[in-house]
A and B are shown apart, each in its own frame.
Chain A
Amino acid sequence: MTWDGISFEDRMETVEFRVGERPHIVVDSDICRSCTTKACVTACPANLFAPTSDGGILFNYEQCFECGTCYQVCDSDGALSWTYPDGGHGVVFRSG
């Protein structure tokens, strides 16, 4: 591992999120329990998917880039329901 000079929390702290009330991505942890790859855990650039001890997935929608990587890598049909946050909410990039 290369030390990148910044902790992940500090890295995410550089991004503005206007958090909406409604979770725009919902994970069905019951389906995740049967998933062997759990590609979302490593692929999500915002590191929002955390495996739980019972084999499920804990998901935090608040710091989501809305990029779509999670549902593209997800093998399990129906595990992820993916929409955009309500208008005006979610990530706000300033230097995209």
Chain B
Amino acid sequence: MGGLVVALLRCTDLRAEVDPLSGAITREPRTAALSASDAAALEHALRIGSAWGARVLAISLGGPEVEGPLREALALGAEVLRVATHQSYLEELVADEQALARALVTALAGELPDLVLCADRSADRGTGALPAFVAHELGVAQAPGLVSLELASLDGGETELLAERRLDYGRRERMRVPLPAVCSVEGAGVRLRRASLPASLAASGATIPVVDAALVPSAVRVVQARPARPRPRHLPAPTGTSRERLLALTGALLSHEPPVVVGPVDAPEAADALLEFLVHHGYLSRAPSGWAVT
């Protein structure tokens, strides 16, 4: 049937280092790899592409570090495209999925794919919203969170795309996906095939085509983000006589220490203060000597 199947891949360090004190994230470019979901997306793209006789295009946004996984996709017979951008804008794009979706769709240069495959959510800080934004940009249907995606033969040599996804309480949902569509898959059921040696050799020296990301800021911009607040914890209501219940709720006869404000202090001192607090209240039996923070 011909056509175009696109795999949108996120190649990133799957074990980015998070500094325990500052929260700063360090990503190693050399360990950039496809997550299990991204690998599954590429594998589905290759399977469906070959069944349809369609071109398969693997696209990834990022610096030269994404070329390793793209080279593997090239060796597997896909066309590849790297969408490049400035590092500063890249950070912004990854945080703003609508702008990211626009940049990726713009990179298709007006071509409407029959099927777009991508991971259910990106491995690093994905919200899982990208597939929906991509579907919106393309104006096509969307099937998110799939655990299986198959082509079923119909009478007359036609095929249809059947997808299955997980629902709550172990239920499954089977869907017939109309085309064109954006399907996002979980890393389940399939493993990415390995490229043959001759293809890998041919891909090893190939140049990966690069286009610049379109600078398309999204309409809604995040201007401030407040820290996440955990939900309140439900505590059982006290029992007993009304007097006991009142005492338990007000804590009137219990001795308690007023909260102490420590600081402003730097991070090591804060850590020491926290450790001391935990030891004082019996959450830690002792302060292990190896814990000194310097």
Answer whether A and B touch in the complex at a CB cut-off of 8 Å: yes
Interface residues of A (CB under 8 A from B): 3-6, 16, 18, 21, 86-87, 92, 94
Docked complex Cα distance between A86 and B28 (Å):
23
Docked complex Cα distance between A64 and B31 (Å):
19
Instruction: Check A21–B191 contact: CB distance below 8 A.
Output: yes
Residue from B31, B194, B291 in contact with A16 in the complex, judged by beta carbons closer than 8 Å: B31
Least distance between A20 CB and chain B CB atoms (Å)? 10
Instruction: Check A16–B288 contact: CB distance below 8 A.
Output: no
Instruction: Check B31–A92 contact: CB distance below 8 A.
Output: yes
Docked complex Cα distance between A6 and B267 (Å):
21
Docked complex Cα distance between A54 and B289 (Å):
40
B290 proximal to A (CB < 8 A): yes
Mind listing 17 A-B residue pairs with CB under 8 Å?
A: A3-B288, A3-B290, A4-B290, A5-B288, A5-B290, A5-B291, A6-B290, A16-B14, A16-B15, A16-B31, A18-B33, A21-B191, A86-B194, A87-B194, A92-B31, A94-B28, A94-B31
* Interface residues of B, count at CB 8 A: 10
B291 — which chain A residues lie within 8 A by C-beta? 5
Q: Scoring B residues 169 to 207 as 1 if CB is less than 8 Å from chain A, else 0, what string do you get? A: 000000000000000000000010010000000000000
A92 — which chain B residues lie within 8 A by C-beta? 31
A4 — which chain B residues lie within 8 A by C-beta? 290
Docked complex Cα distance between A10 and B216 (Å):
43
A18 — which chain B residues lie within 8 A by C-beta? 33
Least distance between B96 CB and chain A CB atoms (Å)? 29
Least distance between A63 CB and chain B CB atoms (Å)? 14
Least distance between B217 CB and chain A CB atoms (Å)? 35
Q: Which residue of B has the minimal Cβ distance to A92?
A: B31
Least distance between B29 CB and chain A CB atoms (Å)? 12
Docked complex Cα distance between A3 and B289 (Å):
10
A94 — which chain B residues lie within 8 A by C-beta? 28, 31
3 A-B pairs with least C-beta separation: A5-B290, A16-B15, A94-B28
Least distance between B290 CB and chain A CB atoms (Å)? 3
Docked complex Cα distance between A5 and B288 (Å):
8
Q: Beyond the given A5-B290, A6-B290, could you list 15 further A-B residue pairs with CB under 8 A, ordered by the A residue number?
A: A3-B288, A3-B290, A4-B290, A5-B288, A5-B291, A16-B14, A16-B15, A16-B31, A18-B33, A21-B191, A86-B194, A87-B194, A92-B31, A94-B28, A94-B31
Docked complex Cα distance between A3 and B31 (Å):
32
B288 — which chain A residues lie within 8 A by C-beta? 3, 5
Docked complex Cα distance between A5 and B289 (Å):
8
Least distance between B188 CB and chain A CB atoms (Å)? 14
A87 — which chain B residues lie within 8 A by C-beta? 194
Which B1-52 residues have a C-beta within 8 angstroms of A?
A: 14-15, 28, 31, 33
Docked complex Cα distance between A86 and B191 (Å):
14
Least distance between A22 CB and chain B CB atoms (Å)? 11
Docked complex Cα distance between A5 and B293 (Å):
13
Q: Which residue of A has the minimal Cβ distance to B33?
A: A18
B14 — which chain A residues lie within 8 A by C-beta? 16
